[in-house]
Amino acid sequence: MFPPPEVRRDLASVIPGARSSKWHITLAFLGDADPAVVASSLAGRSFGPSFRLRLAGGGRFDAVVWAGVAGDLDALHELHARLKPDDPREFKPHLTVSYRFSRSLLNSLSGYKGPSWEISSFQLTRSVAGSYSPLALLPLDSNTGDQQA
């Protein structure tokens, strides 16, 4: 899921020099699966209702620095489970902001609370050598929109 431009701009305002165009939340890594087969298997499926998320706080996995994800995490986990029901790995939603650890970057994310946005679709994306190619935009079901992140 690629946050909308205003969400990326808000996060970039606390991270000078950030390359926000590639920022995304990975719902499921599909590896070397054939993109056409994956897109075909997902077409027409129900993925649950829309929901709201926001970026908040941060952390790290070794050298990787990330922004945390807050909001309707139950709905996000449910969406992940619909995409990869038998995934043995724990789903840890985050948005990677850097692959190089920096204490000052991590400190910049401390206490960060970005604007919320509605998740009404997600994008099937192919990643090759750091370049992203959109393959399909998959809608979520309509929602009342009453939930706040």
Mind listing the pLDDT tens digit for each residue in 71-111? 999 999 999 999 888 888 899 999 999 989 999 999 999 99
In this structure, which CATH number among 1.10.10.10, 3.30.230.10, 3.90.1140.10, 3.90.220.20 belongs to the domain 5-139? 3.90.1140.10
Q: Which of 24, 9, 4, 20 is nearest to 133 (CA)?
A: 24
In this model, does residue 28 exceed pLDDT 90?
no
**pLDDT band of 143, cuts 50, 70, 90:** low
| pLDDT confidence band for 6 (50 / 70 / 90) | very high
SS3 state of residue 127:
strand
Name the strands in the sheet holding 51-61, side by side, starting at the edge strand that comes first in the sequence: 94-98, 64-71, 51-61, 117-119
pTM of the model: 0.86
Domain boundaries, the chain: 5-139
